[in-house]
Structure 1
């Protein structure tokens, strides 16, 4: 095979936006990701969990379950995030290891469509808030579709501008979101008090015994299922996190992810759960847009609804559009830039009209958790248990490298995904943890004792830190975009 033929064969794996991020290019610090989490965790879909939970158990138990679920999923997110921090790799690129250079497209697209789903539903909620604001300011205005289109364009332009602009918006929006959230809670609490109720003791249909335990567990795993999506593709974001070179302590190296995922996420989401519960007590719905319209008016209503808009925006750009764009850029090839992939995600999220399933959102969250938790388990087993964090990064960008497996497909990844996902759906209440554990076990044993004997993996045969670790040994992985041979790995000592 001639050199030009090799170039053409490998080029589809070398999208410019998916090459490893170098240490000097990492721009997000601990407080930056903390602010991003404040924005990501405050959204209308979260409110639905609070409204659902308070119908069976009291709010303190709902909050407790939320904290447990968020801390648990935050731990998973932090663990998987090391892939991006250590090697600078995006989710769809690393997925070539457990699924193959071609096989990566199927689970990656599943995640991208899910992210696009959330973009659509969050944009819809934001559009209804904008519509309500305009209706308050200009009596008679009522065109949510126009608001949707304009709101979607603003978000997509922000996301297309790059991770730095996403972080800047989060830094700006986070304090405003916190202030507006407190105002919303105060407004709803005043209305609840006027009704003679107490949101912390009020329950729509109290359950006891095993039913109460089940209700408690549903809240835990609904929260985990919601963030199972980010648990998979956190490397797409974490590859931009600042981290010290030559740091072998896992916690010090991953401090940015840990602080955001184990502190900002649980606290913020728990407070949103309270608002969702309060909205249900006031108006019989978890949608605070509806509840606020019943309890506020004038400029106060407009200001509170503006908070709703900011939360949907900050969530969408970081947690939904950015990961989906990375996948679409990977699938569609190097000619599709990040900006184009961002708008592809927006179009997909609009065409599937996800707002039509809002009434069964908790069930949808559990199903998503079942499907994607298996992918998280496979990533964990592949990266930590088998490769022990060492990765032959140059071969991830080779069509004929070690990750080609059988025609570009690692069948063990798909077998594990199918078994883990299927068993998880049989235990829907506990879908995330079941899918994660089952898929990880199946993948580990099939790979170690069968598939990796058939398709040897260099970093497992020779587990060299100097050859296969990244930032821990001060390495920036450099992939030549134009020819088949890689530049020498840059190691700064």
Structure 2
């Protein structure tokens, strides 16, 4: 029995236990502000710059809105896992991939998030270096700026989700004001040169080529947030939501308003800045463009905005989700605070800034791999389990999610096939991976795998037993196997 408890303790890392009702502190305005911070980052600008090389800015903006609304819908759908049950991404992944198998796709997501942490920190450090250089021309050391900037972000995140939200609340209004100044500065320069921001395209294409360019922008935006589309439960488990609320839209209002309003509008505006920067300087990096169009304290103020955006994006969209995964993989001895610094180390060792020139292609690749996981998650949670989850068993070594030695082989079959085909059809990677992986997972589990490994919530679809906040339940994980506790009130 002692051996079993030791194994179970590995599954019951305190940072990964279900979030209770009174631990949920993020409201509508809090997540709205977080999205403003997350959607404004230098990597977003590259999509705008790539788009206006072929089609005019109005079409690039329209494609961005379409892609963002589509992926925002997915984020809201998957986010219900966290809202309903208080579960993080790596914990729920034990259902479609097994209590051991969860580590492989989870690590794929964690490494991707670490990649983005390193890339955004690099962008921020170059901006900090430029700011200091404006004040003191003798200073030029981006690596020192990188180390200090990385540590500040990691300490902020390690302090807890509330401090992440507080920083977002502070940064969002500052970012909006400075973004407007940046856009005005760039477009004024274009107008002075006799250009038209809304009609300009470097090498305009028509017909089928224009349609393809439009679609690529859509899927680049979707691939951009495919990461968060997978592991939004890690954040949404902290969203405020009413108990006993059976209306899905009312229960997920915080996520819907942030993901379908704040994110599309903010990202579209950032696309416009990236496009304008390319028109001015031939580069999507506003740091370069602004150095050509501004000087002195104006440049320092604009670069400060870039620092704030990288910081606010990293904490919520990259460090928090990746740290939860590393904490899950490395076991209970590694707290969430320690896992936060693991993210920083991995993101730095990867040196992601070396692939910036092929960022759009990288986004499509990430979208292919992670969209397949999203398809599996949606089918498992909504279609097969119908939002009911045997949460206690997710934390049991010998429970229903043990499958084949801790691995749900169907999850891996669906992921590999869906992801591989999506990579082959790279321009349409997100939708291909999502649909194909989800369909394969559904057929194989429903007609084979779950007959061999029965799932209690599917065999007995009881709301009272297997729903969370909808029936007023806080999931409390007990040390005894097969025991359900609830707090209703």
The TM-score, its normalising length taken from structure 1, stands at 0.98
Runs (4+) off by over 6 Å: none
Determine if contact 2:393/2:482 at 8 Å carries over to the other structure: no
Pairwise CA distance, 1:456: 0.4
Which residue is 2:121 aligned to? 123
1:271 to 2:264 alignment: no
Instruction: Give the alignment of 1:291-440 within 5 angstroms.
Output: 291-440=289-438
Instruction: From 79, 89, 95, give the equivalent of 1:97.
Output: 95
Which residue is 1:153 aligned to? 151
Q: Distance in 2 between matches of 1:354 and 1:400?
A: 40
Determine if contact 1:478/1:487 at 8 Å carries over to the other structure: no
Of 402-411 and 425-434, deviating more is: 425-434
Q: Distance in 2 between matches of 1:489 and 1:432?
A: 39
Can you list the C-alpha shifts for 1:350-401, whole angstroms capped at 9, x where unaligned?
0000000000000000000000000000000000000000000000000110
Which residue is 1:22 aligned to? 20
**How many aligned residue pairs are there?**
489
SS at match of 1:158: helix
Residue ranges of structure 2 left out of the alignment (5+ in a row): none
Pairwise CA distance, 1:485: 3.8
Instruction: From 453, 456, 459, give the equivalent of 2:454.
Output: 456
Pairwise CA distance, 1:484: 3.5
Pairwise CA distance, 1:196: 1.0
Which residue is 2:488 aligned to? 492
Q: Distance in 2 between matches of 1:153 and 1:174?
A: 21
Which residue is 2:236 aligned to? 238
Q: Distance in 1 between matches of 2:425 and 2:62?
A: 22
Q: Distance in 2 between matches of 1:151 and 1:318?
A: 16
Pairwise CA distance, 1:425: 1.3
Q: Distance in 1 between matches of 2:274 and 2:319?
A: 25
Q: Distance in 1 between matches of 2:447 and 2:401?
A: 17
Q: Distance in 2 between matches of 1:177 and 1:484?
A: 49
Determine if contact 1:218/1:429 at 8 Å carries over to the other structure: yes
Determine if contact 1:87/1:239 at 8 Å carries over to the other structure: yes
Which residue is 2:196 aligned to? 198
Q: Distance in 1 between matches of 2:453 and 2:125?
A: 50
The TM-score, its normalising length taken from structure 2, stands at 0.99
Q: Distance in 1 between matches of 2:249 and 2:101?
A: 32
Q: Distance in 1 between matches of 2:291 and 2:307?
A: 15
Pairwise CA distance, 1:491: 3.8
Which residue is 1:141 aligned to? 139
Which residue is 1:284 aligned to? 282
Residue ranges of structure 1 left out of the alignment (5+ in a row): none
Which residue is 2:108 aligned to? 110
SS at match of 2:11: coil
Q: Distance in 2 between matches of 1:357 and 1:271?
A: 24
Which residue is 2:45 aligned to? 47
Which residue is 1:444 aligned to? 442
Which residue is 2:466 aligned to? 468
TM-aligned CA distance change 1:65 to 1:285, over 3 Å: same
Can you list the C-alpha shifts for 1:95-134, whole angstroms capped at 9, x where unaligned?
0000000000000000000000000000000000000000
